[in-house]
Each structure stands twice: as structure tokens, then as C-alpha cells.
């Protein structure tokens, strides 16, 4: 899988597009203005750069532009998670979970969710 590296601003744009797509420039200007306080010029500049990087698709619709994501959300999340684990925990999920458990940052519900995830992973590896 290709490594996807997104800036915080690119995540904000893609979050909007993953939630609803396609969106016009003005829809994105409005949503990003509300979410992160961006001016119109910031939104337009970010969209142009993201198009150059192949992160969004742009289509001319009438007198305006319409954008769709060129990156799947799951692919971006997996890539970012792997990058984070490699940078911070030397690629070790166990080390990350141990650090969180020691600081008691996991609720009972989260622990139950992790058990369920691990059980499913174990079942899948037995096949």
C-alpha cells in the first residue's frame, strides 16, 4: 500500500469530502471556515495544492469547481496509523497499548472493544 502523508489541513479538507462529496469550493469555504476558521483564500490555496499532490479530484461545473476525495479514508487512516506507530513506538502496537494502559487512559468500554478486535484478529489468523 502506498504511504499517504497528510498535513493537519489536508485532513480537515478530506474529512469534509469524506462526509459529503462532491462539494463546491464555496461549500468547502463555508465548512472549513466553521470547523477550523479558514479564510476563503486559505481554502482555495489548500485545495489547489491538494489537487497537485493527487489528494483530491477537481471538476469544472458551470462557473465553479467541484471537489471529490482521491484518497480513501480507510487507506489514509491505515497509512497514518502505521506512520505514527513507526515514529513514536518503533512500530510496536504492544508498546503503545502498554503506555496507554499504564497511564490508565483506557476506559472499560475501550478495553472491551480491544478484546473484541483481538479475538476477531485471532480468528482470522487461524484460517
Mean pLDDT by runs of 10 across the 127 residues of the chain is 82 96 96 96 96 95 93 91 88 85 82 88 77
pLDDT number for residue 118: 86
pLDDT number for residue 48: 96
pLDDT number for residue 121: 86
From the list 60, 73, 66, 74, the residue with the least C-alpha distance to 28 is 66
Long-range contacts of 49-54 (CB under 8 A, 24+ apart): 50/10, 50/13
Amino acid at each position: 500500500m502506498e504511504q499517504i502523508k497528510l498535513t493537519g489541513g489536508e485532513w480537515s479538507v478530506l474529512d469534509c469530502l469524506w462526509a459529503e462529496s462532491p462539494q463546491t469550493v464555496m461549500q468547502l469555504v463555508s465548512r472549513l471556515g466553521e470547523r477550523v476558521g479558514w479564510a476563503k483564500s486559505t481554502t482555495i490555496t489548500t485545495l489547489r495544492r491538494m489537487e497537485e499532490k493527487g489528494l483530491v479530484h477537481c471538476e469544472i461545473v458551470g462557473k465553479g469547481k467541484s471537489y471529490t476525495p482521491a484518497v480513501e479514508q480507510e487507506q489514509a487512516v491505515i497509512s497514518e496509523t502505521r506512520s505514527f506507530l513507526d515514529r513514536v513506538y518503533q512500530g510496536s502496537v504492544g508498546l503503545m497499548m502498554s503506555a496507554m494502559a499504564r497511564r490508565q487512559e483506557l476506559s472499560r468500554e475501550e478495553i472491551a472493544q480491544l478484546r473484541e478486535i483481538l479475538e476477531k484478529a485471532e480468528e482470522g489468523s487461524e484460517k
